[in-house]
Structure 1
Amino acid sequence: MTTGIITAATVLRQASEPDPGPEELTVFWPLLVQLGWFLAGFSAVVLIGWLVVQPVLRRAVRRRNRNNPTLQAAVVLYFRLLVVLVGTLVGVALAGYGELLGDSALVISAVALAVGIAAREVIGSLVSGVALVLDPEFNVGDHIKWNGGEGTVQSIALRITRVETAAGELVTIPNTILTAHEITRPYGRGNHRIVQELRVGYESDLDDVLCQLIEVAGETEGILTDPPPAAYVDELGDDAVSVRVHYWITDPTRRDVFAVRSAYARAAKDRLEAEGINVSPPAERELSGRIRLSDPSERE
């Protein structure tokens, strides 16, 4: 009997409570409006950044760094993160919380300062990486010389650059090092001049030697005829005459330079020896004095 009375009371109470209607939902309307403004601002920034700015940025990076997909992906990733951050700030401001951001400016500045001090080397590398990305004269495949050595650039990231040395070693260089010191690009910038030096004996006809060396340069594959090769007497040494040959090859790599130098050196040696010209004569010294010999048994 008691159970029946409780059940009936519960049913009557539930029946007396009205269902939520539009009037009750108006309480949430301001929150929905703020959410809508946030989504509108966030979506606008993200869509403009990803659909309009990102393709332009991707084409610019690809045009200057065609052989570096690692860098292209890194730039796009960092740009997307930046767009999301900016979109969030714009959405918060449109939602009516701009004053909250203003009140938190001091806290945000303090946090940014602490993060900057803790990660100054990483941030410096990122800034240097952006500088290298924007430099049209620095690309994957370039042969470079820097303070620590030389090699061919394999990849450029926003924080580090990887260079392969002539010995096949892969060196990881922080970008701050490459932007803080001078970088030399000996090859790959149009015609490249090669200077080779050799020594001949004093008894050689120097005019004939110079003519022979120029002719060999004109006959060697890969050496340009314009500008024409040239040969000069460089130095009168103690034992031989030093002769220097200048010639040009077009837009070479390090491997091309070694190949042409080797081919020319072999051809020049064969030509001069065939003409009876003494190449790299041995050093001669005239000694004077006395040599004293003693019998070891006399010491005993």
Structure 2
Amino acid sequence: MHILVSAATASDLAETAEQSIDYLQKVIDYVISKAHIFVSAMIILIIGWYLTRFACKIVRHSLDKTRLDASVTSFINSLTKFGLRTLLAIIVINKLGVDTTSLIALLTSASLAIGLAVQGSLANFAGGVLLLIMKPFVVGDYINDGNGHEGTVISIEIIYTRLLTANNEMVCIPNGKLADSPVTNLTNQESRRIDFPVSISYDENIDRVRTVLLNVASECQTLSKTHESLVFVQDFDSSSVRVVLRVWAITDKYWETRFEIREAIKKAFDAEGIEIPYDHMDVNLINHEK
């Protein structure tokens, strides 16, 4: 009985080995018959890869000679590279004998499904394209997005725009929000206005205060030469007169000018004996024992 079982097992193993050899032989025969197709596809892939790199390099050099913004050229380079490599992949797949018509239809359906799933990202992509074309701001501008974010534009990417705040913090804002909301570009012009409100006593001579403030402005070297400084009475408070010094600072020196003039006003008022009123509190101590 044991001898019969062993003989049956050996027969099964031999039959399995023979089937495996036949299958392997068919695979080898198929590979040999299609070898020229695989070789052609590999040659097309290698040559096409280098051609796409060469074409992208030509496009990049051509864009560098134009006056387009760096973010725009980077965006166009990315699209060119993606488009050429996608075309190369379709050509190679077609060479291998795969029906590209069905493949393209499948990719179209998949793209539609993915697009519906990532509508927010597509909106940000479209917003990025609008920002690059319309240019409400460029890399290096100092902007305020109206939602509490303010800083220097570091990069305008496909989905996000990156800001570097005054606290050296990186803020990533979706392009869709920037494209759909008011954005204040604080460095678009060569100069920026700064108002310095100062409170003086009702007993103080306004003309004297005006002279002191204008002298402070004239000594500042970071003010714009195209605008004149101005001093005017803004309001009458309960215990003081509010006077404003209005100057125009060079945009690149905005913060430096703001700090410098604010300090200079205090020093000039101290030197001229001009008092800045402030709230006083009188404390009376009552001695009940007395």
- TM-score for the superposition, normalised by structure 2: 0.70
Match of 2:278 among 276, 282, 287: 282
Structure 1 gaps, min length 5: 1-26
Find the residue that maps to 1:203 and give its secondary structure. Answer: coil
Find the residue that maps to 1:220 and give its secondary structure. Answer: coil
Per-residue CA distance 1:6-44 (angstroms, 9 max, x = gap): xxxxxxxxxxxxxxxxxxxxx99xx79x97xx88xx69x
Shift of 1:233: 0.3
Check conservation: 1:54, 1:79, Cα contact below 8 A.
no
Shift of 1:241: 0.5
Equivalent residue, structure 2, for 1:111: 110
Say whether residues 1:242 and 2:242 are aligned partners.
yes
C-alpha change, 1:261 and 1:54, in structure 2 (3 Å) is closer
Per-residue CA distance 1:229-283 (angstroms, 9 max, x = gap): 011100000011111111112232xxx322212211222222233222212x023
1:87-126 → structure 2 map (5 Å cutoff): 87-89=88-90, 101-102=100-101, 106-126=105-125
Per-residue CA distance 1:84-107 (angstroms, 9 max, x = gap): 2235557889x8x9xx55566654
Q: Give the total of aligned pairs.
A: 254
Shift of 1:137: 4.3
Check conservation: 1:230, 1:247, Cα contact below 8 A.
yes
Equivalent residue, structure 2, for 1:64: 69
Say whether residues 1:195 and 2:222 are aligned partners.
no
Give the Cα–Cα distance (whole angstroms) in 2 for the partners of residues 266 and 277 of structure 1: 15
Shift of 1:211: 2.4
Give the Cα–Cα distance (whole angstroms) in 1 for the partners of residues 139 and 273 of structure 2: 47
C-alpha change, 1:59 and 1:131, in structure 2 (3 Å) is farther
C-alpha change, 1:83 and 1:148, in structure 2 (3 Å) is farther
- TM-score for the superposition, normalised by structure 1: 0.67
Q: Percent identity?
A: 23
Per-residue CA distance 1:168-196 (angstroms, 9 max, x = gap): 22222222222221211123521211111
Find the residue that maps to 2:137 and give its secondary structure. Answer: coil
Equivalent residue, structure 1, for 2:157: 157
Check conservation: 1:196, 1:245, Cα contact below 8 A.
yes
Check conservation: 2:56, 2:77, Cα contact below 8 A.
no
Match of 2:268 among 271, 276, 298: 271
Give the Cα–Cα distance (whole angstroms) in 2 for the partners of residues 83 and 104 of structure 1: 17
Give the Cα–Cα distance (whole angstroms) in 2 for the partners of residues 83 and 55 of structure 1: 17
C-alpha change, 1:212 and 1:190, in structure 2 (3 Å) is same
Q: Which moved more, 1:105-114 or 1:45-54?
A: 45-54
Give the Cα–Cα distance (whole angstroms) in 2 for the partners of residues 236 and 178 of structure 1: 40
Check conservation: 2:152, 2:163, Cα contact below 8 A.
yes
Give the Cα–Cα distance (whole angstroms) in 1 for the partners of residues 110 and 238 of structure 2: 70
Find the residue that maps to 2:184 and give its secondary structure. Answer: coil
Per-residue CA distance 1:146-177 (angstroms, 9 max, x = gap): 11321112223222222122222222222222
Check conservation: 2:124, 2:176, Cα contact below 8 A.
yes
Give the Cα–Cα distance (whole angstroms) in 2 for the partners of residues 232 and 152 of structure 1: 33
Give the Cα–Cα distance (whole angstroms) in 1 for the partners of residues 187 and 223 of structure 2: 15
Structure 2 gaps, min length 5: 1-32
Equivalent residue, structure 2, for 1:129: 128
C-alpha change, 1:205 and 1:244, in structure 2 (3 Å) is same
C-alpha change, 1:155 and 1:106, in structure 2 (3 Å) is closer
